[in-house]
C-alpha cells in the first residue's frame, strides 16, 4: 500500500487540517469533526446537514457552502460518523428553522443518525431525516439492508440546499429531498478495488481482466464479476440496468451524474459519459443537465457510477441555482 498519509490512524484529522488550511470560507472543528460554513445565515433558515464515512471526497465536506450544505460530519474512512458529530453540527448551524439530516442508507449511518436525531430532539431541535437509497445493484427487500445510498446524495444535497437557501420550511425541504431520492437511480462498475489505510490492501481481489459490476462505494462487491469490455458496452449496460428499474419513458428528461470512483482519469470519464449520452439518446431519454467528474468517490477505486434523476422544472431550477462550495460552484 502506497498512500500519501502520515499514519492510518490520523488520516481523518490530518485531512481536516488540510481542508481547514485550504478553505478559509469553511470552519473546520477538528476535535468534533464537523465542517460548517464560516458565515452564518442572516435570518433563520433550515440547516441541511450531511455526513458519512470519509473516503468519498469531495462528498460531503466539499459540498458545504451557500446553496448546498450547512454542515458535514465526516466519519473515519468508510465508517459512518458518530452521533456526537451530528449533534455538534446541528447545534452549530441551526438557526431556528430546524435541521434536515441527509443520510445514505447504510446500517451504520442510519443508526448513528437515528441516535443523533434523538439527542437533537432532546435538545429541542426539530429534525427531519432524508434517507438516500439509489443504488439499483442492491435488491430492496426484507432480505437486505435495502438499497445503498450513492451518487444521488449529490443531487439531494444540491436540491435541498438550494431550497433551504430560499427560506423554505423544514417539512418542504425534507419532502423535496425524498422526492429527489425517489426520482434517482444509480449503478456502478469498478475496475479495481479500493485500499483503506487501515486494511492496507485492496478490499477485494480483481483479476487483471475482470471488473466488478454493481459495486458499492465502500468496495462492497456487486452483482457479479465479468470480463472487462469496451467503454461503449459498459456504458450501455449501466444505462440499461438503471432504466430497467426507473420509471422513465421516452421523451423524459434526466439530470445525469457520471461519477468517477477516485482513480479513473477524467479523460476516461468523458469517454464513458460520451457513450452514456449516446445510449440514453438511443433509448429516447433527454439529458437536461449533466455533471462529469469525481464527486462520490471510493478512495483509490477505479471505475465509475452513473446516476440518473428524472428532471422536472422545479428540480432543474434548483439544480441550476447558485452554489458556492469547494467542489460545486455555479454563479
Partner 1 sequence: MDFDTPLAEAWVRAIAAAVEKEQGRLTELDSAIGDGDHGSNLRRGFSAALAALDGLRPAGPGAVLTKVGSTLISKVGGASGPLYGKAFRAIGAALPDPALADPTDPAGPAAVAEALAAGLDAVRTLGKAVPGDKTIVDAYTPAVAAFRAAAGAGATLPEAAAAAAEAADQGARDTVPLQARKGRASYLGERSIGHQDPGATSTALLFRALADVTAS
Ligand X SMILES: Nc1ncnc2c1ncn2[C@@H]1O[C@H](COP(=O)(O)OP(=O)(O)O)[C@@H](O)[C@H]1O
Residues within the interface to partner 1 (CB under 8 A): 8-9, 53, 75-84, 106-108, 111-112, 114-115, 137-139, 142-145, 148, 196, 198-199, 203-204, 216, 218-221
CB neighbour class for 117 (10 Å; exposed up to 12, middle 13-18, buried from 19): buried
Q: State how beta strands 34-37 and 47-54 pair.
A: unpaired
User: What does the block give as the cell for 134?
Assistant: 439509489
State yes or no: is 56 an active-site residue.
Answer: yes
Give dist(CA 83, CA 120) in Å, integer: 9
Stretch that binds its own copies, among 4-12, 94-102, 180-188, 236-244 (CB under 8 A): 4-12
Task: Tell whether residue 144 is a contact of ligand X (CB under 6 A).
Answer: no
Catalytic choice (23, 60, 218, 246): 218
Nearest to 187 by CA among 247, 237, 146: 237
- Pick from 116, 154, 254, 292: which binds its own copies (CB under 8 A)? 292
The beta strands (E) that lie in 235-285 are given as 253-260
Contact 216, 188 (CB under 8 A): yes
Chain centroid to Cα 237, Å, comes to: 22
Say whether residue 265 binds its own copies (CB under 8 A). Answer: yes
- Sign of torsion, CA 25 161 294 212? positive
Query: Does the active-site annotation cover 218?
Result: yes
**Residue 105, binding choice from Mg ion, partner 1, ligand X, none, Cβ under 5 to 8 Å by partner class:** none
**Least distance in Å: CB of 198 to its own copies?**
13
- Expressed in angstroms, the distance from the first to the final Cα of the chain is 40
Among all chains, which residue has been given the C-alpha cell 468508510? Answer: 78
| The three three-digit cell numbers of residue 5, written as one number | 498519509
Any contact of residue 108 with ligand X (CB under 6 A)? Answer: yes
Smallest gap from Cβ 7 to ligand X, in A, equals 20
Residue 107 interacts with ligand X (CB under 6 A)?
yes
Residues in the chain, overall count: 331
CB of 311 to Mg ion, least distance (A): 33
State the binding partner of 180 from Mg ion, its own copies, partner 1, none, CB within 5 to 8 A by kind.
Answer: none
Residues in contact with its own copies, total (CB under 8 A)? 65
Residues binding its own copies (CB under 8 A): 2-7, 11, 14-22, 54-55, 57-58, 62, 77, 191-192, 208-209, 211, 228, 230-232, 234, 258, 262-275, 277-278, 287, 290-292, 294, 297, 299-300, 302-304, 322, 324, 329-331
Catalytic annotation, residues: 56, 218
Amino acid at each position: 500500500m502506497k498512500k500519501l498519509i502520515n499514519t492510518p490512524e490520523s488520516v481523518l484529522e490530518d485531512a481536516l487540517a488540510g481542508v481547514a488550511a485550504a478553505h478559509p470560507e469553511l470552519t473546520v472543528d477538528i476535535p468534533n469533526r464537523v465542517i460548517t460554513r464560516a458565515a452564518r445565515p442572516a435570518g433563520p433558515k433550515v440547516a441541511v446537514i450531511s455526513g458519512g464515512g470519509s473516503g468519498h471526497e469531495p462528498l460531503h465536506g466539499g459540498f458545504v457552502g451557500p446553496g448546498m450544505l450547512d454542515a458535514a460530519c465526516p466519519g473515519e474512512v468508510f465508517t459512518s460518523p458518530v452521533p456526537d458529530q451530528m449533534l455538534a453540527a446541528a447545534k452549530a448551524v441551526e438557526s431556528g428553522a430546524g435541521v434536515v439530516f441527509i443520510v445514505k442508507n447504510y446500517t451504520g449511518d442510519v443508526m448513528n443518525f437515528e441516535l443523533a436525531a434523538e439527542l437533537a430532539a432532546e435538545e429541542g431541535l426539530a429534525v427531519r431525516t432524508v434517507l438516500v437509497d439509489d443504488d439499483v445493484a442492491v435488491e430492496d427487500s426484507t432480505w437486505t439492508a435495502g438499497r445503498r445510498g450513492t451518487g444521488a446524495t449529490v443531487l439531494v444535497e444540491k436540491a435541498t440546499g438550494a431550497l433551504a437557501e430560499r427560506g423554505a420550511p423544514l417539512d418542504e425541504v425534507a419532502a423535496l429531498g425524498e422526492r429527489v431520492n425517489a426520482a434517482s437511480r444509480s449503478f456502478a462498475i469498478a475496475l479495481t478495488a479500493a485500499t483503506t489505510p487501515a486494511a492496507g490492501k485492496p478490499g477485494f481481489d480483481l483479476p487483471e481482466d475482470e471488473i466488478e459490476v454493481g459495486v458499492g462505494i465502500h468496495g462492497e462487491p456487486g452483482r457479479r464479476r465479468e470480463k472487462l469490455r469496451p467503454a461503449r458496452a459498459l456504458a450501455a449496460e449501466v444505462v440499461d440496468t438503471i432504466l430497467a428499474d426507473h420509471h422513465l419513458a421516452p421523451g423524459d428528461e434526466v439530470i445525469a451524474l457520471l461519477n468517477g470512483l477516485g482513480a479513473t482519469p477524467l479523460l476516461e470519464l468523458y469517454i464513458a459519459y460520451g457513450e452514456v449520452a449516446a445510449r440514453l439518446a438511443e433509448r429516447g431519454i433527454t439529458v437536461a443537465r449533466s455533471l462529469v467528474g469525481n464527486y462520490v468517490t471510493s478512495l483509490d477505486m477505479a471505475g465509475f457510477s452513473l446516476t440518473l434523476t428524472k428532471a422536472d422544472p422545479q428540480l432543474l431550477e434548483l439544480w441550476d441555482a447558485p452554489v458556492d462550495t469547494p467542489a460545486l460552484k455555479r454563479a
